Amino acid sequence: MRRSSLPAILCAVMVLAGCARSGNIEIEDLLTPTSAEVTGAIPAPSTPVPPSKVGLGSESEGMPQQPLALMPPEPVPDALAPVVRTTGMPLPSINPKKLAAPAPGHPVVKHRFGDAKPVNFGRASPHALAVHGVDVSRWQGEIDWADLRMHGANFAFIKATDGGDHLDPMFHRNWRAAAAAGVKRGAYHFFYWCRSASEQADWFIRNVPKEPGALPPVLDVEWNGYSSCKKRPSREVVLEKMRVFLTKLEKHYGQRPIIYTAPDFYRDNLQGEFLDYPFWLRSVAAHPSEVYPGRNWLFWQYSGSGLSKGVDGRIDLNVFYGGVEDWHRWIAANTG
């Protein structure tokens, strides 16, 4: 670029940027930094745990592989009654006869996950619920999805994108392999606060297929101290950005997106908001009812130190709120 043209160009950019800010609270600066994120997943451990060492109870190295353990429908424990439903997302009424024989390839498997740092949740333990799953990203490396499924991964949320320019390099491989193994899977986007919401929604749509049977897309909103973006917008701006992103995804995929968040971000921005959206909550030290009082939830991330065959090292563990029939009812209503 020639030096003589630089002042004029800078002036034009400043004028346009000023117009953009005055027109819509969501539009960012025209010159936005690219994201250099290591986000939405735990980092690869320095000393991975060998697959032969993971498991629960009597399971140990050298034992033969057990067949799928199908879980019968079961009621939700009384201890979890205060958070029985996600507000605005009632589970539709479906003929129970249709639920007696789950779709081929998608039976509910009883989990046999281990945990490097187990937590005693008392009577409100996630282990009282039937439908467990995982979330993954590049940091899990090569995953044996058939083995992970056999070990109890009934569903998986797979890191797809963050910001407006980053695609998880393992996304497409994980997306195809999870489906082939019979795992119900959805994709998630880690929101980057230094780019516009519309641009990030477009990036997600560009990279995540619109497929029958996929779980609803997920918007992951957190404060990330490791991010190259140090912005912490006001609550008003955060909510507006989220609305733009969520609306655009729902229009494209025809599914109400799920909101994933962590305690500090929720406390700063989301109490009393988005009551008509399903929530996926991170709560690894206490039951969500203690950490997010008054908030109903659909998925609970209860561990960031899980262990499972099919994965070297640690993996995030999650559970669906409800029994087996609730799961099949929700899947029938929300996966197309």
| Residue ranges of E strands in 163-320 | 166-167, 184-190, 218-221, 258-261, 279-282, 299-307, 315-320
The question of whether 135 is a catalytic residue gets the answer yes
Could you tell me if 114 and 19 lie in one domain? no
User: Considering 28, 37, 115, 135, which one is annotated as catalytic?
Assistant: 135
Query: What are 262-321's pLDDT values in tens digits?
Result: 999 999 999 999 999 999 999 999 999 999 999 999 999 999 999 999 999 999 999 999
**Count of domains forming the chain:** 2
Could you tell me if 167 and 19 lie in one domain? no
pTM: 0.75
Could you tell me if 69 and 16 lie in one domain? no
Could you tell me if 97 and 161 lie in one domain? yes
Could you tell me if 325 and 237 lie in one domain? yes
Report which secondary-structure segment, H or E, holds 4.
none
Residues contacting residue 192 through CB under 8 Å, at least 6 positions apart: 35, 37, 162, 163, 164, 200, 227, 229
User: Considering 222, 312, 325, 326, which one is annotated as catalytic?
Assistant: 222
Could you tell me if 210 and 121 lie in one domain? yes
Could you tell me if 52 and 12 lie in one domain? no
pLDDT above 80 (res 88): no
Could you tell me if 7 and 104 lie in one domain? no
Could you tell me if 96 and 245 lie in one domain? yes
| Listed residue (127, 100, 178) closest to 300, CA to CA | 127
Residue 197 maps to which CATH number? 3.20.20.80
The residue that leads in pLDDT, 21 or 204, is 204
The residue that leads in pLDDT, 13 or 141, is 141
Could you tell me if 15 and 48 lie in one domain? no
Q: Which residue range forms the structural domain that includes residue 17? A: 1-31
The question of whether 222 is a catalytic residue gets the answer yes
Could you tell me if 27 and 136 lie in one domain? no
Distances (CA, A) of 33 to 12, 108, 135, 193, 231: 19, 43, 27, 10, 12
Could you tell me if 133 and 239 lie in one domain? yes
Query: What are 122-168's pLDDT values in tens digits?
Result: 999 999 999 999 999 999 999 999 999 999 999 999 999 999 999 99
